[in-house]
Amino acid sequence: MQNMKKFIVGKKIEMTQIYNDSGNVVPVTVVDIQPCVVTQVKNKETDGYIAVQVGYGVQKKSRIAKPQQGHTKDVGYFAGFKEFRTAEEYKVGDKIDVSQFELGDEVKVSGVSKGKGFQGVVKRYGFKGAPKSHGTKDQVRMPGSIGATGPQRVFKGTRMGGQMGNQGSTVSNLTVEKIDIEKNQVYLRGAVPGARNSLVTIYCN
């Protein structure tokens, strides 16, 4: 894994549009940045690699397990944690916010894609389907033959109907179009994975 220079955890809010410096309308996704605090610094001597652990989202102490309470008692209580490989120097208690990003930065965004439930092969894989002619009846969106009868089994990886979405997804080359330091929000141009109010990780090397 490559070292990251900039990284943060946020919540996908909504899509909107803004005017850039050239006066053109730009479609963007608003990401609300969670309060991120460094909770642990890992090094090669004790952990075997260099990384930082970041806590995000303020949480009540009563909702935190006792081991986590002891782990972060000096810096607060958080809803979750993320770990990032980085060569930058941090210490426990450092706060991370949107000020580290600059306009025009190209970033990667990781999240969980929208869940679409059980879907057939036409929607899931883009199958063309059968000809809609006389005699086809109810076989238009069926997958058709799935292979020879010799092996008497279904091969692994055969494209068939099943669960679609709700998987980890990473999108590269998104552009930072606007930074709102007061609201702690960043506006990204590009396809941000996930549904509204889902957590996303923004980073760049």
Q: Which residue has the tokens 């006792």?
A: 66
Q: Which two tokens stand for residue 25?
A: 């309308």
Q: Which domain holds residue 42?
A: 6-133+162-204
User: Residue 125: which pLDDT band, with cuts at 50, 70 and 90?
Assistant: very high
Classify residue 140: in a domain, yes or no: no
- What CATH number is associated with residue 128? 2.40.30.10
Using one digit for the tens of pLDDT, what is the confidence trace for 146-170? 887 788 888 899 999 999 999 999 9
The share of the chain scoring above pLDDT 70, in percent, equals 99
Classify residue 97: in a domain, yes or no: yes
Query: Considering the entire predicted model, what is its pTM?
Result: 0.84
Helix-then-strand count for the chain, H and E: 2, 12
Classify residue 59: in a domain, yes or no: yes
User: Residue 106: which pLDDT band, with cuts at 50, 70 and 90?
Assistant: very high
Classify residue 58: in a domain, yes or no: yes
Classify residue 128: in a domain, yes or no: yes
Q: What angle do CA 10, 32, 94 make, to 5 degrees?
A: 60
Is-contact 177 17, C-beta < 8 A? Answer: no
Classify residue 150: in a domain, yes or no: no
Total structural domains within the chain: 1
Give yes or no for residue 104 having a pLDDT over 70: yes
Helix spans in the chain (H) = 66-71, 121-125
pLDDT of residue 34: 81
